[in-house]
Amino acid sequence: MRGYVFLSVVMTMLPLAAIQPFVGVLLWSWISFMNPHREVWGFATNQPWALLVFGATIIGCLLAREPKRFEWNAATITLVVMMGVFTLTSLFTLAPAAATWDKWDRTFKIVLGVLLTASLLTSRRRIHALIWVMCISLGYYGVKGGIFAIMTAGSYRTWGPPDSIIGDNNHIATALLVAVPLMNYLRLQSKHRIVRLLILAAMTLTTLAALASYSRGAMIAAAAAALLLWWRSNGKIISGMLIAGCLAAGINFMPPQWVDRMNSITTYEEDASATTRLKLWEVSFKFAVARPLAGAGFRGPYSREAVDTVMPGGPARAVHSIWFEVMGEHGFLGFAVWFMLLPIGVYHAMRLKRLTRDRPDLAWAADLGRMVPVSILAYAAGGTFLSLAYWDFFWTIIVITAATHALVVKEVQGTAPIAATAALGWRRRSAAGTDLAGAR
């Protein structure tokens, strides 16, 4: 039954994607981020839905007159250059060619989809709609996981959709923490009190689901994100008490086995998993030193033959770190290009704060600019301990921030009428300053 419901939704939306390409972007994002086909059974589970939607969206871009343009900015240029570098490193891979080009193909499709998304982010309404889709996609697992944690008293781990990039408990935990700041942005932009309360409940359950994953990396990411959220808030005493209280309540809710696992962070040298991870990082670093311009290529650190060239007998498997994953697969050159996406996102977010000063009609962009660095920090901290380097959700955050920056610049210069939609960004701030998003 689930499969037929999912099929009916997709087949109904496909004609709209061909008529209005941005509908296709929203549908493609939903399928890519949430993997709803992994939540159904039968024939619908393993079909290439994202590719089908992407094709319909491309047709729409060619035929429809819907507003669209390709915005050459720091984010999109870096993505194009990055994919070019990844192509070159794939030509000199140390891994089996089939494995390398299979991962190249998947990464290329992700980058192409993100660039298509960037070309259609031509208004504040579209940016807002895409963020809603992103939050709903991951919020589904956050709310479900939080309720599951409450029902089981945190005795079992939460997991993401099977056979997906966020299926692992560590991956879904970091993904949920990256999404929470975006949820807070939506809360600030919601006009109705009931909607704001529902989003706040979703944020609470999502954070609990991340903790209930038993991921030590997620615990570090949550602490780092909470600290930055507090630092960028007004009313630091009240907001600090709220943040600390929420984290304390979540931690106290978890059972003793969860506490024992978190305490193992301080005794990592006794943990076989942690020591193996350090060896994996060493292997990747040696690949980058030996081949600074090419690395080992996609899937190189997974290849026994490739690993033996730099560390005979060393572990050959997933690297478990976004930093060392890219460094090992693409060398220092590929790592430098890939890494640039993070400071580019932070730069655009910080610029939004300055550009929108004394512009209440652009308050929505200021709120987004305050939340994006928190998401970036959660990704950077949590990603230190897992393989999530080629995640389309995070790259979409970067192009959203760049598109928002471009819109705000044009508005400030008086060349784009986006202020007419400011009513959609109505927000309510409490006198006590407890919205956690006010800038210093």
The tokens for 409 are: 């610049």
Higher pLDDT residue, 134 or 421? 134
**Does the pLDDT of residue 183 top 70, yes or no?**
yes
308/182 Cα distance (integer angstroms) = 43
- The rounded percent of the chain whose pLDDT value lies above 90 is 57
Q: Are residues 59 and 98 in the same domain?
A: no
The tokens for 209 are: 């689901």
> For residue 151, how many other CB atoms are within 10 A of its CB?
10
**Does the pLDDT of residue 160 top 70, yes or no?**
yes
In terms of phi and psi (left: phi > 0; alpha: psi -120 to 50; beta: otherwise), the region of 427 is beta
Q: Are residues 45 and 108 in the same domain?
A: no
Q: Are residues 5 and 149 in the same domain?
A: no
Least confident window among 119-133, 206-220, 380-394: 206-220
Higher pLDDT residue, 2 or 279? 279
Band of pLDDT at residue 93, cut at 50, 70 and 90: very high
pLDDT tens readout for residues 296-332 = 999 999 999 999 999 999 999 989 999 999 999 999 9
Q: Are residues 282 and 298 in the same domain?
A: yes
**Average pLDDT over every residue of 354-361:** 89
**Average pLDDT over every residue of 351-366:** 91
If one counts the domains in the chain, the total is 2
This prediction has a pTM of 0.88
Return the H-helix or E-strand segment holding 423: none
**Average pLDDT over every residue of 209-237:** 82
pLDDT of residue 427: 41
Provide the domain limits for residue 119. Answer: 72-440
Q: Are residues 130 and 20 in the same domain?
A: no
Of 14, 36, 66, which closes a domain?
66
**Does the pLDDT of residue 440 top 50, yes or no?**
no
Q: Are residues 49 and 165 in the same domain?
A: no
**Average pLDDT over every residue of 427-432:** 39
Q: Are residues 45 and 183 in the same domain?
A: no
Judge residue 70's burial from the number of C-beta atoms within 10 Å of its C-beta, 0-12 exposed, 13-18 middle, 19 or more buried. Answer: exposed
Of 66, 101, 122, which closes a domain?
66
**Average pLDDT over every residue of 367-372:** 94
Band of pLDDT at residue 267, cut at 50, 70 and 90: low
Q: What is the DSSP string of 205-237?
A: HHHHHHHTTT-HHHHHHHHHHHHHHHHT-SSHH
Band of pLDDT at residue 241, cut at 50, 70 and 90: confident
Q: Are residues 42 and 141 in the same domain?
A: no
311/325 Cα distance (integer angstroms) = 16
Length of the chain in terms of residues written: 440
Residue 267 in 3-state DSSP?
Answer: helix
Q: Are residues 233 and 180 in the same domain?
A: yes
Band of pLDDT at residue 371, cut at 50, 70 and 90: very high
Of 50, 66, 82, which closes a domain?
66
**Does the pLDDT of residue 68 top 70, yes or no?**
no
Burial 212-228, CB ≥16 within 10 A → b, else e = bbbbbbbbbbbebbbeb
**Does the pLDDT of residue 69 top 70, yes or no?**
no
Band of pLDDT at residue 266, cut at 50, 70 and 90: low
Tokens 């979540």 belong to 250
CB 379 within 8 A of CB 314: no
Band of pLDDT at residue 292, cut at 50, 70 and 90: very high
Residue 44 in 3-state DSSP?
Answer: helix
The tokens for 135 are: 């939050």
Where helices occur in 35-96 by DSSP H, the ranges are 49-63, 74-91
Q: Are residues 26 and 77 in the same domain?
A: no
Q: Are residues 338 and 369 in the same domain?
A: yes
**Does the pLDDT of residue 293 top 90, yes or no?**
yes
**Does the pLDDT of residue 55 top 70, yes or no?**
yes
- Across the chain, mean pLDDT equals 86
Q: Are residues 153 and 296 in the same domain?
A: yes
**Average pLDDT over every residue of 370-384:** 94
